[in-house]
Structure 1
Amino acid sequence: MISRAQALACGLTDSRVEWSVASGRWRRIHLGVYATFTGPLPFDARVWAAILRVGPGAAASHRTAAYLDGLCDDPGPVIHITVPADRYVEPRIDGVRIHYAQRLPLTRHPAATPPRTRLDETVPDLVDVAPHPREAETWVTAACQRRLTTPERLADALGRRKKIRWRAMVAAMLVDVASGAQSPLELRHLRRVERAHGLPTGCRQRRVAGQRVIWIDVDYDDYGLRVELDGRIGHTGEGRFRDRHRDNRATVDGHATLRYGHADVYGDSCAVAAEHARVLQARGWTRHPRPCGPSCVIRTVIIQDRPRHDVVDPG
């Protein structure tokens, strides 16, 4: 891939460049950017073409950088390029989306080619543009599961951002990964799911002895309901099978198991509370949950399902 400016700097003339394109030896990819070969255009070449078109200081970022670093298996339909915030780039470049960043000189990888942001900075970029907390959780999870970075490095990158979407959720995830103990996720569940909706108080971190000792994150023993909060990133491999065996044993013993992650508890705590309430009521809980606010789904999902003859205690 070569730009017209690079070709002229190498000693070629404008007429020679035009002749190379007209003869089919070169192909014009973007305005002033050419492929000096025939045949299919590899992904790396597409990224280089976009960077050359955008100009000095540009670097691949977001999903494009994630794909180049092995964070995802699909690069998506467009090339994402970030440029310094003090530059202006023509807004419409076919197949290219432009981002602007004040800190690009610090977040750009010093040696990777094609030029791109450091992976520890790419993940927060993707989190910031994620439309749903579950997608943000997926990016953080993938980065740690694929051993491309560590929770500590991601936490450092997160701390350097003045503004970022889903900060509380991601910070909690990273703390959970690093410590794995009584987690912010469990605290969020206690406050925003249980207390905010008037649910029974579960027993937390309950030790159950049997053929092997297991720990239950939240146990509603009177109603045969167990809640598992997967705070540690990476319930895969042996961990996933241990979770499955634990859930199966609980079912055999007559317990129901509900399992949630950060995206559930941080992203839609009211829906989580609604599921809790349905199972608890089906297993003998005779009271009713309360909405945490005017838009709480408990109001429409749970209260709507009450029998017509039901009378709600104002207290």
Structure 2
Amino acid sequence: MTATPRPDDDELTWTAFRQSGILTTAQATALGSRDLVRGSLTAGRWRRVCRGIVATTNGGLLRPQQLWVAFLAAGPGAALSGTTALLESGVRGLRESALCVLVPAERQRSTRLPRMPTDMPPIRITRTRFLPDEHRQVGSPPRVITARAVIDGASWASSADAARTIIAAACQQRRVTPEEIFAVLATRRGSPRHSMINRTLIDVAGGSQALSELQFLELCRTYGFPSPSRQERRRDSSGRQRFLDFYWKAWRLHVEIDGSHHMEATHWSDDMVRQNEVWIRGDRVLRFPAGLLRSRPEVVIRQLRAALEAAGWRS
């Protein structure tokens, strides 16, 4: 990476600093000279990253440099989006299969990328007909706003669960609100998975933010079970406020989805106390490990149906 320039350094030095040491050949030539570019490359002070892009360093490309390479290779009007933009906005725990870049559909320049070096991850360039200024934000490199990045990331995800994970993570980590995503989604009615994204946002806004909880709600919809209330508040006998994951008030049935942290001793003890409080009040309680929703959903469906029918529900 380039060191912080002095105030009297030239524009080439400052531009290289702002762009993490990555320049287009045109930039470097315009701000310096063709001889400077050629000489720096020949001497090994700079390296050629790919056709049309150089690095003012000679080591391996770091994450900020990779982002600038992807952005500059995509050409005018580009913006980082999807999981790439979300990671840059601080969302943790997402898997990134490629650096995601949006470009305006009306741009005439080809989106075919030059051959990249081995220290560059794959780059995914997607054309879009709708990228207004209000969907862009200042970044290094520029990227779309978080709400747009969530929608793009969910649209491009490899599966519906991967899409739900993106939505849940961004909202759960408070990088964006469901309301902000709803506002952008209203402008993207033709986007892939529009209905699923909208449904997931409704679930998240209702209090379900873990992927396992979103998966459980999807099972309820798919198999025609009545819709439960979420995160219902209860006070136990000591006056402590507790939350129920899912609750069917008419049938007095409570379902708890246990993540891996529930296996810890302190959580396990607290969970048993909470379950006892629910049982004392006369409610039925079902508990499912989160992994069971993915590995054996038929078990969850069978037991949920049996519990509801035992309480008087008829499908």
TM-score normalized with structure 2 length: 0.65
Per the alignment, do residues 157 and 227 of structure 1 end up closer, same or farther by CA in structure 2, a change over 3 Å counting? same
Per the alignment, do residues 167 and 272 of structure 1 end up closer, same or farther by CA in structure 2, a change over 3 Å counting? farther
Find the counterpart in structure 2 of residue 276 from structure 1: 301
Secondary structure at 1:104 match in 2: coil
User: In the TM superposition, what is the alpha-carbon distance from 1:273 to its structure 2 partner?
Assistant: 5.9
User: In the TM superposition, what is the alpha-carbon distance from 1:203 to its structure 2 partner?
Assistant: 8.9
The structure 2 residue matched to 1:227, chosen from 244, 255, 266, is 255
The structure 1 residue matched to 2:200, chosen from 170, 173, 177, is 173
Within 5 A, what are the aligned runs for 1:76-91? 76=96, 78-87=98-107, 88-91=110-113
Per the alignment, do residues 118 and 260 of structure 1 end up closer, same or farther by CA in structure 2, a change over 3 Å counting? farther
Find the counterpart in structure 2 of residue 136 from structure 1: 163
Find the counterpart in structure 2 of residue 146 from structure 1: 173
Say whether the 8 Å CA contact 1:63–1:126 is kept in structure 2.
Answer: yes
Say whether the 8 Å CA contact 1:185–1:229 is kept in structure 2.
Answer: no
User: In the TM superposition, what is the alpha-carbon distance from 1:48 to its structure 2 partner?
Assistant: 0.9
Find the counterpart in structure 1 of residue 25 from structure 2: 4
Per the alignment, do residues 276 and 55 of structure 1 end up closer, same or farther by CA in structure 2, a change over 3 Å counting? closer
Between the aligned partners of 2:177 and 2:228, the Cα distance in structure 1 is 32
1:193 aligns with 2:215: no
Per the alignment, do residues 259 and 58 of structure 1 end up closer, same or farther by CA in structure 2, a change over 3 Å counting? same
Between the aligned partners of 1:244 and 1:170, the Cα distance in structure 2 is 36
Say whether the 8 Å CA contact 1:26–1:36 is kept in structure 2.
Answer: yes
1:75-115 Cα shifts (integer Å, max 9, x gaps): 73532222111232115643322111112243652422211
What letter is aligned with 1:34? V
What letter is aligned with 2:187? R
User: In the TM superposition, what is the alpha-carbon distance from 1:43 to its structure 2 partner?
Assistant: 1.0
Per the alignment, do residues 107 and 138 of structure 1 end up closer, same or farther by CA in structure 2, a change over 3 Å counting? farther
Between the aligned partners of 1:112 and 1:75, the Cα distance in structure 2 is 21
What letter is aligned with 2:90? G
Per the alignment, do residues 135 and 260 of structure 1 end up closer, same or farther by CA in structure 2, a change over 3 Å counting? farther
Find the counterpart in structure 2 of residue 67 from structure 1: 87
Between the aligned partners of 2:62 and 2:95, the Cα distance in structure 1 is 12
Between the aligned partners of 1:6 and 1:202, the Cα distance in structure 2 is 58
What letter is aligned with 1:170? I
Find the counterpart in structure 1 of residue 73 from structure 2: 53
Per the alignment, do residues 89 and 166 of structure 1 end up closer, same or farther by CA in structure 2, a change over 3 Å counting? closer
What letter is aligned with 2:67? V
1:114-164 Cα shifts (integer Å, max 9, x gaps): 111111100000110123222222111111222211111011111111223
The structure 1 residue matched to 2:57, chosen from 29, 33, 37, is 37
Runs of 5+ in structure 2 lacking a partner? 1-21, 117-121, 209-213
Within 5 A, what are the aligned runs for 1:149-298? 149-178=176-205, 192-194=222-224, 211=237, 217-218=247-248, 226-228=254-256, 245=270, 249-250=274-275, 253=279, 256-258=285-287, 272=297, 275-278=300-303
Say whether the 8 Å CA contact 1:3–1:34 is kept in structure 2.
Answer: yes
Per the alignment, do residues 284 and 98 of structure 1 end up closer, same or farther by CA in structure 2, a change over 3 Å counting? closer
Per the alignment, do residues 191 and 23 of structure 1 end up closer, same or farther by CA in structure 2, a change over 3 Å counting? closer
Between the aligned partners of 1:64 and 1:174, the Cα distance in structure 2 is 21
Secondary structure at 2:152 match in 1: helix
What letter is aligned with 2:111? V
Between the aligned partners of 1:139 and 1:161, the Cα distance in structure 2 is 17
Between the aligned partners of 1:279 and 1:175, the Cα distance in structure 2 is 22
Say whether the 8 Å CA contact 1:247–1:257 is kept in structure 2.
Answer: no
Task: Number of aligned residue pairs: give it.
Answer: 262
Within 5 A, what are the aligned runs for 1:99-138? 99-106=126-133, 108-138=135-165
Between the aligned partners of 1:137 and 1:32, the Cα distance in structure 2 is 38
- Between 274-283 and 54-63, the greater mean CA deviation after superposition: 274-283
Between the aligned partners of 1:108 and 1:160, the Cα distance in structure 2 is 11
User: In the TM superposition, what is the alpha-carbon distance from 1:56 to its structure 2 partner?
Assistant: 1.2
Secondary structure at 2:101 match in 1: strand
TM-score normalized with structure 1 length: 0.65
Between the aligned partners of 2:130 and 2:161, the Cα distance in structure 1 is 27
